[in-house]
A and B are shown apart, each in its own frame.
Chain A
Amino acid sequence: MNLAYRDTREFVPVDADKGLDRLTGAMVSADSLAPAGYTRLPKCKFCSKYLESETNIGTCGASAHEPKFMAYGDMTAVTCEMFAD
């Protein structure tokens, strides 16, 4: 299944609505579908520690807080050292 541009590593976000396709240089809509083969961007929603409780929001199982601290699925996780596929 093709990913939305904004869920790929080839997407360079310009603003909340659009960004550049790094491979073609074209300005594309963030929500449009990326070509097949584009790489999935690490995000909380793709992390096995993320537990969604309501739409777009949940908890992070890796947090040391009790109860577990919130997380939101759309957050980019390239810098999260606890991200797990």
Chain B
Amino acid sequence: MAKTFKQVLADAGISMDFEACGQSPREIIDREIKPEPHPRVAALKSIYMQSLSTANNEFPYWYTREYMANDSEIPVIRRARALKAAFSHLTPVIYPGEKLVMHKAHYFRGSFPMPWLSEGFYVAKEDELFQDALKRGSTSADEHSKFGSGGGNVVTSFNKVVSIAGKFGMRQEEIPALLKLARMWVGKSVDDLGHKYEQMCPDYDIKEKVMRNIVCMFDSGYTLPQGREVINYYYPLEYGFDGLIRMAREKIAEVAGNADGDGMVGMNRLYNYEAVILALQGIQTWILNYAAEARRLEAIEKDAAQKAEYRDIAQCLDWIAHNPPRTFREAFQMIETIHLGVLNEDAISGMSPGRIGQVLYPYFEQDIAAGRTTEDEVLELLELDRIVKTSIDCFASCGVVGGVLSGNTFNTLSVGGLDYYGNSAANRLEYLILEAGMSNPMPQSTIALLYDERLPDDFLMLAAQVIKTGCGYPAFMNNAGGIQFIMNQYAPEGMTPREARAWAIGGCLETSPGSWMPLHLNGKEYFIPGGSGQPTSVGIHFLALPKILELTLFNGQDQRTREQVLPPHGRKLATYDELWSQFKDYFQIVCRSLEKANNIQHDVWRKNNMAVFNSLLKPDCLAKGHLINELGYRYNATFNVESAGTANLINSLAALRKVVYDDRRATLEEVRTAILDNFGFKDAHDINSFSIADQQKRDDDNRQWDKLHFMLLQAPKYGNDDPYADSILRDWEEFFCDDCSNYMSLYGYPMYPCQISVSTHGAMGSACRATPDGRLSGTTFADASMSAYPGTDRNGPYALMSSATVWDHTRSQNSQLNIKIHPSAIRGQEGTKKLLDLSRAYMRKGGFHVQYNVVDTKMLRDAQAHPDQYRELMVRVAGFTQYWVEIGKSVQDELIARTEYEGI
């Protein structure tokens, strides 16, 4: 067999260990802590574990039917009517044992396509889907085991289930309807209309080539137009849905026919309020349909306890369909309903519940004091919430769901931080949230801990204990840093230091603005936090930085496709400064072309597909009478520029500077030739492994590149507290943070940097040739933005953290550092404390985010070989937790290769 990368290095006497700070034990070591959920939760979780992602056409059917019947209506009314019809016709389904009810669609992991955003995929695949629908009919055990190995993903068609994009299953009987509905949106969807107009941009040709060659990963305008934001549950909690409808009616009486000095959009307020009423009526009918179903089940149920539970569910739903909640249970059900409602309104990934421990605290406090509930009951509800959130699937465009999101929907929940008065906001309910994360470990909600020096020690120790379960949460986020970023970005829109404290994480780790809202319950006032900003999932997403370096080195030509992506620069790149300057020029050309095209897509979205339900929840839409599309939100400067592959860019620049420019041990031409020859290795795709460690030499390789390859690999690397590499990181961050503000969103606000990779480091690495840092062709980029490249961080986690903090993290919406630690390195109470000390040290250095994979690499290898035995294994990828079996191989390979710390 051909030698692997690791063996080649060992032969040369070079240690590029994938372990640091010691050696791992020979046998597989499991995580130390493994608590159990309540029996009811365990039973429902078992259904979840058996269920497949399933899509149907009920929502799109009624949406399209109503939309097409109103073609002469004002756009916002037309949209609201369609939403009302769709919500009103969703079939309710209640599973035995559920206490928090309602689902996106009537399956456990139900979702549906939204062809009004993009229909091209279904139309293009029409024949394939039809054939699949027709030929199905027999089952085979092999087919079953294939999708079984992908967890809930329907990776292939089987029985009467057609696989869509290797992820969703749809009944074959529904395929003709899917295709017919899709065809009705040809030329009308956001995708099609956006495409028509974006072509009028003078640099559209560049944008197309950038996308085609995966220099950038996705168009946010029609794939995920909203998300990576924090929802706001306040208005329905305070006023109830009937109260909000009354409010909108009163506002209509005020604004009808009255421009109020705003000749542009003043008159629109009438239609917007009418749209709000229609959307709310749709939500109410949806809830009441569930209440009716609960009553039907109550009538036929024989078991007295279950019968009573159906009655409780019906009473709860009947009440919250109209009124503000009175109890913890009603409030929890209401926010769950609102959450699913918003997610049904649009293709959204990363609609974060925010600081729900603080939102629900008033109900918790009063119910506990009055003896209406117990902490154990609350814990059970919190465990159930983890099933609800993990069951949320997003049927976005296919490459996005798989390649970018790994199937995750990022309903991140935040705990900690500071309250309205500036004191620690951690409360008893948040301790229970952490406990539920431990007793029912599931990927969602991923938990973000807003670390502040004022948080109590036992709260932080509990958080560290949760991390030790290996669930990948809570992540530590820097509260002071987040507040500073919020002030920097939103002060021009009126942000104050007090309001900045209401921030939370939207999506994986997107710092998102919030507001304090005065909630009244039984005569007591509480200031609860909630999101008040637009989506941050929007803008220029995601840029493969190593790919831009490849274009720089090769005069604008992609070396995989040989396409001339960017205009040739014709420079010799004779000095490092010239190289760096050209890289920046190319970066700007790419960004500029994407900025314009994305603005057009989002502009089409806001004209025809604006958020109505999500808008009415956010301050100050109800007060202003303007929805998201007319700057109704309190904070609108949310569009950003997202990067991926930072560590590979920095290491590549450091290697070129050292080997080519400073030491002159090789020429740039030699490096280019070696890159094109992949240093004598096969392409990652040829061996179907995307881990650097597993790459294999070609049989015909004559070792001509070994010396150069070793030199590049041994050049200074990011993550070792080495100023040579770290100063390049600082230069990059300075440029990046400054440059983003040169791009402007359609709402007229400057953009800012966002530094998370989600799963794009897999997909984008796979489309990138070898890089000057010694990374090989097709292998996955380094995860996140501050994580080190596998095997290159040799000086331990504290050195890595020093490297990561050579720049000011408050200038960016986020940064992201993930570390893999062997479970034996943090055993016992002492280990928990070490973990907390490490995290705290990073926060004190000014790092924004750190999270850990507490896992034995040998277990990951075993899980890759025997996925059926690891259905419940969870891992941390970039900013989220996901089931091992549901993530793509390229990302799995990087996780296996990532340096494992054996000690702290």
Contacts and interface: CB of A to CB of B under 8 A. Distances in A.
Contact of B169 (A16, A29, A31, A55): A16
Contact of B65 (A16, A17, A69, A74): A69
A30 B169 CA distance: 13
A52 to B, nearest CB: 11
Contact of B171 (A16, A29, A64, A80): A16
A82 to B, nearest CB: 11
A16 B107 contact: yes
Contact of B161 (A14, A16, A65, A76): A16
Contact of B51 (A14, A29, A80): A14
A75 interface: yes
A78 B91 contact: yes
Contacts of B440: none
A50 interface: no
Contact of A79 (B56, B89, B107, B174): B89
Given A13-B93, A65-B69, A57 B107 contact: no
Contact of A74 (B109, B158, B173, B297): B173
Given A13-B106, A16-B169, A64-B69, A79 B289 contact: yes
Contact of A57 (B50, B53, B160, B177): B177
A84 interface: no
B108 interface: yes
A20 interface: yes
Interface string B136-168: 000000000000000000100011110000000
Interface in A1-53: 12-18, 20, 22, 25, 27, 29-31
Interface centre among B50, B91, B96, B107 (most CB of A within 10 A): B91
A32 to B, nearest CB: 11
Contact of A14 (B57, B89, B107, B289): B107
Given A57-B180, A63-B65, A79-B91, A15 B109 contact: yes
A27 B58 contact: no
A15 to B, nearest CB: 4
B69 A14 contact: no
A14 B50 contact: yes
B52 interface: yes
B121 interface: no
Interface centre among A16, A64, A65, A73 (most CB of B within 10 A): A16
Contact of A17 (B56, B93, B161): B161
Interface in B64-111: 65, 68-69, 88-96, 106-109
A20 B96 contact: yes
Contact of A55 (B52, B88, B176): B176
Nearest to A27: B50
B349 to A, nearest CB: 21
Contacts of A85: none
A18 B50 CA distance: 10
A52 B174 CA distance: 13
Q: Is the interface of A mostly helix, strand, loop or mixed?
A: loop
Nearest to A74: B173
B106 A75 contact: no
Nearest to B47: A14
B170 interface: yes
A73 B61 CA distance: 12
A56 B173 CA distance: 6
Contacts of B154: 16
A16 B152 CA distance: 12
B54 interface: yes
Contacts of B68: 65, 69
Contact of A15 (B57, B96, B169, B297): B169
Contact of B95 (A20, A70, A75, A78): A20
A85 B570 CA distance: 74
A35 to B, nearest CB: 15
A72 B161 contact: no
Given A69-B68, A70-B180, A22 B96 contact: yes
Contacts of A55: 176
Contacts of A18: 50
Contact of A16 (B54, B90, B95, B297): B54
A17 B52 contact: yes
B158 A79 contact: no
Nearest to B181: A70
Given A22-B96, A27-B50, A69-B69, 4 more contacts: A16-B169, A56-B173, A57-B177, A79-B89
24 contacts: A12-B96, A13-B107, A14-B51, A14-B108, A15-B108, A16-B52, A16-B107, A16-B160, A17-B159, A18-B50, A27-B50, A29-B159, A55-B176, A57-B177, A57-B180, A63-B69, A65-B69, A72-B176, A72-B177, A74-B171, A75-B58, A75-B177, A76-B91, A79-B289
Interface of B: 47, 50-54, 56-58, 61, 65, 68-69, 88-96, 106-109, 154, 158-161, 169-171, 173-177, 180-181, 289, 297
